């Protein structure tokens, strides 16, 4: 089957080609991100393979459907960037990769927590200049600290279990509690209790209309002073302006982000020769207690292999007209 693959980097092509056994699918790679304007590249291919920051709104999906496309194959887990109702109306099937390596993301979140706490990013720079002073590098023991996990699906549960093994007290919130949490001493509480009690809060829920700006001025005000906030999930979960104000006042003591509300204009590109116009992002970079990575939590060899293999399986299932085990439909939004 002919498949357009938008927004690809060399590493995407390497892993997708390896998983495309015997060249079964004809993969038409484009550097361009998918949006209403670039949708014209679809041509007569029946499927489009898209990624996290592609703009799959009503207009863009309409442009796809008008060219005869019938499948949107996301090569990611999140589907918040796809207007699923529009897809349904247009008769476009949408599939995703529900799990590729929850360990990759959980381990990255843990790495951010430890790096930020012990200021390893700052120590690395200092030592390169012959500065061996410890002043400003003081951290805290994770052991005995209360960690709040928001969303205990695949990723959140792995992080919760790992932090519990490190001696943290784990509190979690999820509308669908998983009894596994209690097996390693974790406890489900309501969100306000997480805001009130947690020294470290890590977000692992999807971005939905309900979870948009879950972390906002009001919720931040209820948090412990000096709290560490970690977001490896989706940028829209956090109100960036409110977080900046809280960093300035000291209400938030540490911030780690792998995702950012306006990341679509920045992440995955080398912009080192350009003037970045996003003032909020530039301001965040100036804080010594902010650590940002550019949506790389998923970026391990195992995860890319799994993404590529599941994407090929999704394409083949569609081509064969059978059931689509990884289909996402508009009723997932309820
Ligand atoms: P999952 O679907 O296994 O778990 C999500 C959990 O969040 C579920 O248990 C669900 O009940 C819960 N949830 C839904 N709405 C909630 C709310 N309002 N408050 C609290 N919990 C809520 O998903 P998984 O695989 O654990 O991924 C979590 C998120 O991580 C994804 O939605 C995606 O946005 C993000 N992600 C980020 C990556 C990165 O590279 N930074 C890579 C992969 C996923």
Buried b (16+ CB within 10 A) or exposed e, 263-284: bbebbbeeeeeeeeeeeebeeb
235 lines ligand 1 (CB under 6 A): no
What CATH number should be reported for the domain whose range is 102-292?
A: 3.40.50.720
234 is catalytic: yes
pLDDT in tens, 218-232: 999 999 999 999 999
pLDDT in tens, 242-294: 999 999 999 999 999 999 999 999 999 999 999 999 999 999 999 999 999 99
With 60 as the cut, is the pLDDT of residue 100 above it?
Answer: yes
- Global pTM reads 0.94
Residue 334's pLDDT is 57
In whole angstroms, give the CA distance from residue 213 to residue 235.
9
Question: For ligand 1, atom 2, which residue shows the shortest CA distance?
Answer: 153
With 70 as the cut, is the pLDDT of residue 121 above it?
Answer: yes
232 lines ligand 1 (CB under 6 A): yes
- Counting ligand 1 atoms within 8 A of each CB, the residue from 101, 204, 208 with the most, and so the one to mutate, is 204
Domain residue spans of the chain: 2-100+301-333, 102-292
Whether 2-100+301-333 shares its CATH topology with 102-292 is answered yes
Residue 61 makes CB contacts below 8 A (sequence gap 6+) with 72, 82, 83, 86, 87, 90, 92
Question: In CATH, what is the architecture of 2-100+301-333?
Answer: 3-Layer(aba) Sandwich (3.40)
108 is catalytic: no
Write down the catalytic residue from 234, 254, 261, 309: 234
32 is catalytic: no
In whole angstroms, give the CA distance from residue 251 to residue 283.
17
């Amino acid at each position: 089957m002919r498949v357009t693959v938008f927004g690809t980097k060399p590493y995407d092509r390497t892993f997708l080609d390896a998983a495309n056994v015997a060249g079964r699918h004809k993969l038409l790679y484009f550097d361009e991100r998918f949006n209403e304007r670039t949708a014209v590249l679809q041509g007569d291919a029946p499927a489009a393979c898209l990624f996290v920051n592609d703009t799959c709104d009503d207009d863009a999906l309409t442009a796809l459907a008008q060219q005869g496309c019938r499948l949107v194959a996301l090569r990611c887990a999140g589907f918040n960037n796809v207007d699923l109702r529009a897809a349904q109306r247009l008769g476009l099937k949408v599939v995703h990769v529900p799990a590729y390596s929850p360990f990759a993301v959980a381990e990255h979140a843990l790495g951010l927590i430890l790096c930020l706490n012990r200021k390893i990013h700052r120590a690395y720079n200092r030592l390169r200049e012959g500065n061996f002073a410890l002043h400003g590098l003081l951290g805290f023991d994770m052991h005995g600290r209360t960690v709040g996990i928001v969303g205990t699906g695949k990723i959140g549960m792995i992080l919760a279990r790992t932090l519990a093994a490190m001696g943290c007290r784990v509190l979690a919130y999820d509308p669908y509690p998983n009894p596994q949490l209690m097996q390693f001493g974790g406890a489900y509480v309501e969100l306000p209790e997480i805001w009130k009690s947690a020294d470290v809060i890590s977000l692992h829920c999807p971005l939905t209309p309900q979870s948009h700006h879950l972390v906002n001025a009001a919720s931040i005000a209820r948090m412990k002073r000096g709290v560490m906030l970690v977001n490896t999930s989706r940028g829209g979960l956090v109100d960036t302006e409110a977080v900046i104000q809280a960093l300035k006042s000291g209400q938030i003591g540490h911030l780690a982000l792998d995702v950012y509300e306006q990341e679509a204009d920045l992440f995955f590109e080398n912009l080192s020769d350009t003037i970045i116009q996003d003032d909020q992002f530039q301001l965040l970079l100036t804080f010594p207690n902010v650590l940002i990575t550019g949506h790389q939590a998923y970026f391990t060899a195992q995860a890319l292999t799994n993404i590529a293999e599941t994407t090929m399986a999704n394409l083949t299932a569609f081509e064969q007209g059978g059931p689509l085990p990884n289909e996402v439909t508009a009723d997932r939004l309820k």
